[in-house]
Chain A
Amino acid sequence: MAKLPFERPIIKKINIGVPNKIGMKTEYTPITEIDGVSVKQMIKEYGSPVYVISEKTIRETYKKAYSAFAVRYPKIQFAWSYKTNYLNAVCKTFHQEGSWAEVVSGFEYDKAIANKVKPQHIVFNGPDKSREDLIKAIKNQSLIHIDHFDELYTIISLTSELNETPKVAIRVNMDTGVYPQWSRFGFNYDNGEAWDALNRIMISKKLDLIGLHAHIGTYMMTAEAYKIAGQKLSDLAVKLKEKYNHTIKYIDFGGGFASKNTLIGAYLPGSDTCPSFDDYAEAITSSIINSKIKPDDFPTIMLETGRALIDDAGYILGTVLANKKLADGSNSTVIDVGVNLLFTSFWYEHQITPAQEFSPYTENTTIYGPLCMNIDVIRRSANLPIMKKGDNFVISRIGAYNMTQWMQFIALRPKILMIDLKGNVHIIRENEKLKDIVSMERTPEHLNNFDV
């Protein structure tokens, strides 16, 4: 007779009282495959942990987002937010779908150029654009979004030097009724600074003002804030038309759409509370359509959505290293995925799903990563199915920021795989090796000899 699957014995104290708001059972079925490819097979072949990106999910999510806007408004352009995930394979998938590139540094700009994005289809944001970056972007006729007056005057001074007319937009910050208000980037609308900057640009006659940009925040849980942003940006566009008879070509709403991840401490899961693409699209497009901008002058709506387009397409697969009882009597589980690979666990309660069959029994456990650091906590007090050493799991919705904000800290970073539309697995980034890390180090000669 075949033996039964072994599950660790557990005992849970029954607490009678107020129901536990974070005690909801979340996992009902294991994730044994992603896009038809076996999770355990990928771990066996490419190691544990390993990142996996689903090309299918990227394309489906993009199409969903695009159509939400395109059915409501005639001119829509997405620009892929490089900082969210600048793996070439990911960027190129978005570029194939029609996304331009949105970059925030010289490094990202060069990456977009190397990815063969037309320079005039690169949106250059961010507070740190060096003189060399600006010269390059001006000569290439890229879209430069000005962040502050110092940058504005640098660009104006470069125009005579280069004999070029740069294509520019200004970044505008404003009160959209959400807290915290993001005011560190761009020019403030409410105190008149943005209008001041626009006047200076128009009066200088040296710049081609083609757009207005606002990035009002991140993980915006209300679409209404975008409506307010749209109304304020439209107001600036109307004033430019009235005063200078100048028509703005695009209004860029930045990013900030929430993904379906659950924020730490949230009462309900993100999948229940976050606005849909349709909610955001309705708020944004109606703010332009209902503004005083004349229909013939309707600007293109540009979107730099990152998180909401890529989060669902990313997974990290891993293995349980140990279970241990803590001094306070609570249970903990150590896994081979730490905050070095899952930076977003500082603000999300990531979904962790076993990759093998499990019983309906759950245990409350703290999930620790493998780093020898106290901060390495992936989930605090998670009610999860019982897993034992050697079991595999899948952490879902991790496509945004983890592959750019990750740290080469204590351990080497693993491979990143992409599953294509036909179910073929491609390595899109190799795992790091010791030689990759030390190749950038230089040791002074006198430190080379010792005897220990």
Chain B
Amino acid sequence: MQLKNNIAISENGFIFDPNTGESYSLNPIGTEILNLLKEKKTDDEIINFLNEKYDSDKLTIEKSLNEFYSFLQEYNLSEND
């Protein structure tokens, strides 16, 4: 998953898409994932990072991450592969 380059992310979980003018809000873990995506981390790296930090198994994290990605695609915040 690759975020569009010009997406602006604030520290407290607001994002702005200059392409459409739309704003979005995130919960803290959502913000964390977007920042990791900005840093060009791979999915495996993100899953490992979250697994280290949060009390959940990798499968649940992977499923949640994929679901989150599907919303990023829905809102056109990701680059098309």
Interface, chain A (partner B; CB < 8 A): 2-14, 323-325, 329, 331, 359, 361, 386, 388-389
Contacts and interface: CB of A to CB of B under 8 A. Distances in A.
A12 B24 CA distance: 5
A8 B62 CA distance: 10
B54 A5 contact: yes
Query: What are the 5 tightest A-B residue pairs by CB atom distance, in nearest-first order?
Result: A6-B56, A9-B30, A3-B55, A361-B27, A6-B54
A13 B67 contact: no
B68 A10 contact: yes
A20 to B, nearest CB: 14
Contacts, number: 79
Interface of B is mostly: helix
A386 B68 CA distance: 13
B27 A7 contact: yes
B19 to A, nearest CB: 14
A19 to B, nearest CB: 16
B26 A13 contact: no
Nearest to A13: B24
Given A11-B71, A323-B67, A6 B60 contact: yes
B24 A11 contact: yes
13 contacts: A5-B54, A6-B60, A9-B27, A9-B30, A11-B25, A11-B75, A13-B75, A14-B25, A325-B70, A331-B71, A386-B27, A388-B60, A389-B60
A344 to B, nearest CB: 30
Given A9-B27, A14-B14, A329-B75, 15 more contacts: A3-B54, A4-B53, A7-B27, A8-B64, A9-B65, A10-B71, A12-B26, A13-B22, A14-B24, A324-B67, A325-B74, A329-B71, A329-B74, A388-B60, A388-B64
A386 B71 CA distance: 15
B64 A5 contact: no
B53 A8 contact: no
Interface of B: 14-15, 22-30, 32-33, 50, 52-56, 60-61, 63-65, 67-68, 70-72, 74-75
Contacts of B15: 11
Interface of A is mostly: loop
Contacts of A2: 55
Contact of A8 (B22, B67, B70): B67
Contacts of A331: 71
B27 A10 contact: yes
A5 B55 contact: yes
Contacts of B29: 6-9
Nearest to A390: B60
A119 B60 CA distance: 59
Most B Cβ at <10 Å: residue of A11, A13, A323, A361: A11
Most B Cβ at <10 Å: residue of A3, A10, A324, A359: A10
B24 A9 contact: no
A359 B74 contact: no
B77 to A, nearest CB: 8
A295 B29 CA distance: 70
Most A Cβ at <10 Å: residue of B32, B53, B60, B64: B64
A4 B74 contact: no
A297 B23 CA distance: 70
Contacts of B22: 13-14
A4 B55 contact: yes
Contact of A6 (B61, B67, B68, B70): B61
Nearest to A8: B64
A416 to B, nearest CB: 32
Nearest to B13: A361
A4 B53 CA distance: 6
Contacts of B74: 325, 329
Contacts of A13: 22-24, 75
Nearest to A359: B27
A17 to B, nearest CB: 13
A264 to B, nearest CB: 27
